Amino acid sequence: MLAIRMQRNGRSHYPTYRIVVQESQRHPLSGRIVALVGNYNPATKALTLDKEAVKKYLNNGAQPSSRVAFILKKNGIKMPKWYKETTVKKAAAKHADKLRKNQPKEDIVPEAPEEATETPVETVTEEPAVKE
């Protein structure tokens, strides 16, 4: 079975990718490819693609990887009927009831200023201790 996938090349910390048609059992870096159908640079978002070759391989049963399928759809290439999109799984929190966002919110009531009532303030004066 053939696969349309991305093959990384470029230098460290600056990847560029070749979009290749390859046997699905082979590792992407094995170098043995059936056809080179495009290039993709994620830093500049530059894409060169041979759309006719891609359509030919898709119609003959080549399975695109999820990332390549996203790029192809974005560039107007229609996926075959047999292609199933990968579903994105959402992780559920183990103890969702303990999360802060799920706790009941306390109503904050602004305190009304109390009326000023005059209360006598007692002053305490300390007398020095006298030694005898």
pLDDT at 102: 73
Residue 107 lies in a domain: no
d(CA 62, CA 120): 92
Q: Considering only residues 89 and 46, tell me which one the structure prediction assigns the higher pLDDT.
A: 46
Q: Which of 95, 97, 47, 56 is nearest to 75 (CA)?
A: 47
- Asked whether 4 and 66 are in contact (CB, 8 A), the reply is no
**13: containing domain:** 2-74
Strands (E) in 26-124, as ranges, are 35-41, 46-49, 63-64
Residue 31 lies in a domain: yes
Residue 19 lies in a domain: yes
Model confidence, pTM: 0.64
Q: Which two tokens stand for residue 76?
A: 């107007």
Residue 58 lies in a domain: yes
List the CATH number of the domain containing 42: 3.30.1320.10
Q: What is the mean pLDDT of residues 73-98?
A: 83
In DSSP terms, 40 is beta-bridged to 17, 47
Domains: count for the chain? 1
Q: What is the mean pLDDT of residues 98-107?
A: 75
In single-letter form, the type of residue at position 2 comes to L
112 pLDDT more than 90 = no
Q: What is the mean pLDDT of residues 101-117?
A: 70
